[in-house]
């Protein structure tokens, strides 16, 4: 079988509602030299049935199923171990790629040998169907400088060289993509973004647990800490890292909680799609803290050039 130029890796867990559209978006790519590896993480809905149906109709689709639920990091690593393409593209099973995504990212990496990984802008989609722009940082030097402060790369938009140097580290359950990016730049590789929306990215605004939000923030900070360790000593203390005990010591533990997921979209849109941000703020004044409303309204009233400076600081 001919070696594909790009391997698309899709980890799936109970996403049957969006899975058909996601797979169809890969099938609709203008660049046809790809393989799609779909790894089902023991879904309990109709995801596996949908996956097998598509695999029967297109030999480029390969299906793996975990023996037990392993989580996204280990699931993606199974896909990476089977990837035959010169490049690897990541697509989450509830997101969609625009038809020219693979073609444009492949062309970019082929013409920029100093770049290891490239992402793109995106069209955000809320659970209620609200669409908004998500821009990102462009330029190799800008990305290297800004990524160590916060993760601005849309994971479901990335394509990278299949060097087999990197895997997703399982202890970073809620920040595995950020840790992956920081490991890439630790090796001296460049990253960049294409200034065009090449994917549709679903943002959960129905409410996520406060526990997950706290854990994600903790793990993102730990990923940065390990990055600086590697910069200074050439290695980090991941092997000794016990995330559960460290989070317990900091008072981050499992339990019920609520996090206003509306903020997820507002925080993204306030810099790139002010009309959407303002509409959501006005529609949800009773749900948002007055201090939060004042802060975001002040950003909306600033000239775009100033708000971008604040965002990128």
Determine the pLDDT at residue 295. Answer: 73
CB proximity list for 164: less than 8 A, separation 6 or greater? 80
Report the pLDDT value the prediction gives residue 268, as an integer from 0 to 100: 59
Helix (H) or strand (E) holding 201: strand 190-202
State residue 307's pLDDT score. 44
Ranges for all domains in the chain classified under CATH 3.90.550.10: 6-202
Q: What is the pLDDT of residue 259?
A: 42
Consecutive 10-residue runs of the chain (313 residues): their mean pLDDT? Answer: 93 95 98 98 96 97 97 96 98 97 98 97 87 87 86 94 96 94 95 96 60 78 96 95 90 52 61 68 73 73 49 47
User: Which residues in 80-128 belong to E strands, given as ranges?
Assistant: 87-90, 96-97, 115-125
Element spanning 62, H or E: strand 61-65
CA–CA dist 105, 197 (Å, integer): 12
Task: Report the topology of domain 6-202.
Answer: Spore Coat Polysaccharide Biosynthesis Protein SpsA; Chain A (3.90.550)
Q: What is the pLDDT of residue 263?
A: 63
**pTM to 2 decimal places:** 0.83
Instruction: Give pLDDT, residue 27.
Output: 98
């Amino acid at each position: 079988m001919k070696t594909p130029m790009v391997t698309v890796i899709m980890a799936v867990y109970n996403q049957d509602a969006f899975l058909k559209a996601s797979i169809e978006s890969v099938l609709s790519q203008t660049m046809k030299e790809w393989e799609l590896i779909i790894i089902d993480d023991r879904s309990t809905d109709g995801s596996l049935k949908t996956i097998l149906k598509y695999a029967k109709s297109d030999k480029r689709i390969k299906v793996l199923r975990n023996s037990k639920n392993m989580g996204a990091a280990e699931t993606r690593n199974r896909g990476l171990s089977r990837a035959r393409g010169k490049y690897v593209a990541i697509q989450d099973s509830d997101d969609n790629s625009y038809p020219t995504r693979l073609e444009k990212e492949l062309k970019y990496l082929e013409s920029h040998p100093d770049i290891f990984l490239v992402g793109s802008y995106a069209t955000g989609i809320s659970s209620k169907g609200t669409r908004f722009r998500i821009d990102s940082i462009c330029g190799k030097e800008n990305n290297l400088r800004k990524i160590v402060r916060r993760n601005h790369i849309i994971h479901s938009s990335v394509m990278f060289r299949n060097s087999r140097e990197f895997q997703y580290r399982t202890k970073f359950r809620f920040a595995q993509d950020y840790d992956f990016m920081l490991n890439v730049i630790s090796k001296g590789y460049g990253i960049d973004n294409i200034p065009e929306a090449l994917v549709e990215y679903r943002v959960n605004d129905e409410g996520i647990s406060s526990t997950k939000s706290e854990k994600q923030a903790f793990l993102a900070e730990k990923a940065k800490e390990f990055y600086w360790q590697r910069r200074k000593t050439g290695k980090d203390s991941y092997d000794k890292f016990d995330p559960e005990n460290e989070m317990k010591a900091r008072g981050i533990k499992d339990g019920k909680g609520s996090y206003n997921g509306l903020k997820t979209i507002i925080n993204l849109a306030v810099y790139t799609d002010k009309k959407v941000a303002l509409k959501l703020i006005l529609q949800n004044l009773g749900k948002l803290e007055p201090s939060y409303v004042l802060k975001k309204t002040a950003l909306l009233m600033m000239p775009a050039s100033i708000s971008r400076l604040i965002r990128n600081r």
